[in-house]
Chains A and B, each alone.
Chain A
Amino acid sequence: AQTVTQSQPEMSVQEAETVTLSCTYDTSENNYYLFWYKQPPSRQMILVIRQEAYKQQNATENRFSVNFQKAAKSFSLKISDSQLGDTAMYFCGATNNNAGNMLTFGGGTRLMVKP
């Protein structure tokens, strides 16, 4: 079984500043995939960024980047130049390359961007 843990229930950041959201996971698989999803007040889930475990290079998407530490099983999300529209719940997720292929999420971090 795999588990995903987000240890920060809530965070806040000033507009234009940088914030990092933490995520740790536990899996016995060698080949797996990690995700960050954003859920704004509309409750629509939106993919922010995706990382393949076999790739050493950290994924980047515009203002969003990850710090993937495979040995530590850590997958943090950095949001640079925070914008008011980044206010949302953020969920870290994992899925693995076996027959089960469960897509599992952490408990979420509520991020508030303050003007």
Chain B
Amino acid sequence: DGGITQSPKYLFRKEGQNVTLSCEQNLNHDAMYWYRQDPGQGLRLIYYSQIVNDFQKGDIAEGYSVSREKKESFPLTVTSAQKNPTAFYLCASSIKQGTEAFFGQGTRLTVV
């Protein structure tokens, strides 16, 4: 089945550790996005990528890093510099600008 997959669904980490969230799509989409969602809040854009080997900061990029070495993959690293990393993280992709974005099922990250 074609789709966008985030793993794991739940992730626990100790404070001060970096952690990487996986996002893979087999839809042949050019654009990929990472969002953060806090309880009862909207989606805030962390990073986005229009093409392989290129990505742009979103509204809340501080404390996060990404890579786009392959079209299918857009991993997000939450670094120890992120002050409040506990949140729900959503990855999305779209075939091109203006088209529907498909979302993964999200990763709930809890830092203790």
Contacts and interface: CB of A to CB of B under 8 A. Distances in A.
Contacts of B98: 32-33, 52, 95, 97
Given A43-B106, A105-B43, A106-B42, A100 B56 contact: yes
Interface string A7-35: 00000000000000000000000001101
Nearest to A46: B103
Contact of A102 (B41, B42, B48): B48
Chain A: number of interface residues, binned into ranges: 20 to 34
A50 B98 CA distance: 9
Contacts of A108: 41-43
Contacts of A43: 88, 105-106
A11 B107 CA distance: 27
A101 interface: yes
Interface string A81-115: 00000000001010111111111111110100000
Contacts of B43: 91, 105, 108
Contact of A99 (B50, B90, B101): B50
A110 B35 CA distance: 19
Given A103-B33, A103-B94, A44 B103 contact: yes
Contacts of A98: 97
A75 to B, nearest CB: 15
B100 interface: yes
Contacts of A35: 100-101
Interface of B: 31, 33, 35, 40-45, 48, 50, 56, 58-59, 88, 90, 92, 94, 97-101, 103, 105-106
12 contacts: A43-B105, A91-B43, A97-B98, A101-B50, A101-B97, A103-B45, A103-B48, A103-B101, A104-B59, A105-B42, A105-B45, A107-B42
